[in-house]
Structure 1
Amino acid sequence: MKPVPIDTDYIRETLLALLAIPSPTGMTDDVVQYCCQQLEALGIDYELTRRGAIRATLPGRDHAHDRAIVAHVDTLGAMVKNLKPCGRLEVVPIGTWPARSAEGARVTLFADHGRRFRGTLLPLKASGHVYNEGVDEQPANWQNLELRLDEDIASREDASKLGLQPGDFIAVDPQPELLDNGFWVSRFLDDKAGVAALLGAAKAVVESDVELPMDCHLLFTVSEETGVGASHILHGDVAELIAVDNGTIAPDQNTSEYGVTIAMQDSSGPFDYYLSRRLSGICDTFEIDHSRDVFRFYRSDAAAALEAGNDIRTALVCFALDSSHGYERTHRDSVVAVARLLSLHMQTEALFERDRDVIGPLEDFPEEQVEWEDSELEDVATASAEVA
Structure 2
Amino acid sequence: MNIDLKYTLKKTVELLAIPSPVGYTHNAIEWVRKELESLGVKKYNITKKGALIAYVKGKDSNYKKMISAHVDTLGAVVKKVKKNGRLEITNVGGFAWGSVEGEHVTIHTLSEKTYTGTILPIKASVHVYGDVAREMPRTEETMEIRIDEDVKTDQDVFKLGILQGDFVSLDPRTRVLENGYIKSRYLDDKLCVAQILTYLKYLKDNKLKPRTDLYIYFSNFEEIGHGVSVFPEDLDEFIAVDIGLVAGEDAHGDEKKVNIIAKDSRSPYDYTLRKKLQEAADKNKIQYTIGVHNRYGSDATTAILQGFDFKYACIGPNVDATHHYERCHNDGIVETIKLLIAYL
Give the TM-score category using the shorter length.
Answer: over 0.9
Question: What residue is the counterpart of 1:24 in the other structure?
Answer: 21
**1:328 aligned residue (321, 326, 329):** 326
The answer on whether the counterparts of 1:67 and 1:240 sit within 8 Å (CA) in structure 2 is yes
1:5 maps onto 2:2 in alignment? yes
The answer on whether the counterparts of 1:202 and 1:343 sit within 8 Å (CA) in structure 2 is no
SS of residue in 2 equivalent to 1:57: strand
Distance 1:275 1:300 in 2: 16
Deviation at 1:208, TM superposition (A): 1.1
Question: What residue is the counterpart of 2:57 in the other structure?
Answer: 59
**2:234 aligned residue (215, 233, 237):** 237
**1:314 aligned residue (312, 315, 339):** 312
Distance 1:15 1:177 in 2: 11
Q: Per-residue CA shift, 1:198-253, capped at 9, x if unaligned?
A: 111111122212233310111100000111021x2312221111111111111222
Q: Per-residue CA shift, 1:106-161, capped at 9, x if unaligned?
A: 00001121111010010111100001111121012111100100111101111112
The answer on whether the counterparts of 1:219 and 1:233 sit within 8 Å (CA) in structure 2 is no
Question: What residue is the counterpart of 2:185 in the other structure?
Answer: 187
Question: What residue is the counterpart of 2:288 in the other structure?
Answer: 290
Question: What residue is the counterpart of 1:106 in the other structure?
Answer: 104
Normalising by the residue count of structure 1, what TM-score does the alignment of the two structures yield? 0.86
Q: 1:342 corresponds to which letter in structure 2?
A: L
Distance 2:92 2:248 in 1: 27
* Range moving further from structure 2, 134-143 or 117-126: 134-143
Alignment of 1:27-176 (within 5 A): 27-44=24-41, 45-176=43-174
Distance 1:16 1:273 in 2: 35
Distance 1:62 1:287 in 2: 26
Distance 1:269 1:36 in 2: 32
Q: Per-residue CA shift, 1:290-328, capped at 9, x if unaligned?
A: 111200010011112112221111111021111110111
Q: 2:247 corresponds to which letter in structure 1?
A: A
Distance 1:167 1:334 in 2: 38
When the two chains are superposed, the root-mean-square deviation of aligned CA atoms in Å is 1.1
The answer on whether the counterparts of 1:123 and 1:145 sit within 8 Å (CA) in structure 2 is yes
Question: What residue is the counterpart of 1:378 in the other structure?
Answer: none
The answer on whether the counterparts of 2:111 and 2:161 sit within 8 Å (CA) in structure 1 is no
SS of residue in 2 equivalent to 1:11: helix
Q: Per-residue CA shift, 1:177-200, capped at 9, x if unaligned?
A: 000111000000000011111111
Aligned residues: 342
Question: What residue is the counterpart of 2:265 in the other structure?
Answer: 267
Q: 1:136 to 1:155 in 2, by over 3 A?
A: same
**2:219 aligned residue (221, 225, 235):** 221
Q: 1:37 corresponds to which letter in structure 2?
A: K
1:200 maps onto 2:198 in alignment? yes
SS of residue in 2 equivalent to 1:210: coil
Distance 2:333 2:210 in 1: 23
Which runs of 5 or more structure 2 residues have no equivalent in the other structure?
none
Deviation at 1:8, TM superposition (A): 0.4
Which runs of 5 or more structure 1 residues have no equivalent in the other structure?
347-388
The answer on whether the counterparts of 1:64 and 1:237 sit within 8 Å (CA) in structure 2 is no
Question: What residue is the counterpart of 1:385 in the other structure?
Answer: none
Distance 1:164 1:140 in 2: 24
Fraction of identical pairs, as percent: 38
Q: 1:210 corresponds to which letter in structure 2?
A: L
Q: Per-residue CA shift, 1:262-305, capped at 9, x if unaligned?
A: 11000011100011111111111111111112000100111121
The answer on whether the counterparts of 2:259 and 2:316 sit within 8 Å (CA) in structure 1 is yes
Deviation at 1:75, TM superposition (A): 0.4
Distance 1:268 1:206 in 2: 36
Question: What residue is the counterpart of 1:384 in the other structure?
Answer: none
Q: 1:213 corresponds to which letter in structure 2?
A: R
SS of residue in 2 equivalent to 1:205: helix
Asked which structure has the greater CA Rg, the reply is 1
Distance 1:72 1:213 in 2: 24
Distance 2:20 2:318 in 1: 22
Normalising by the residue count of structure 2, what TM-score does the alignment of the two structures yield? 0.97
The answer on whether the counterparts of 1:221 and 1:233 sit within 8 Å (CA) in structure 2 is no
Deviation at 1:100, TM superposition (A): 0.6
* Range moving further from structure 2, 168-177 or 210-219: 210-219
SS of residue in 2 equivalent to 1:270: coil
Distance 1:217 1:323 in 2: 30
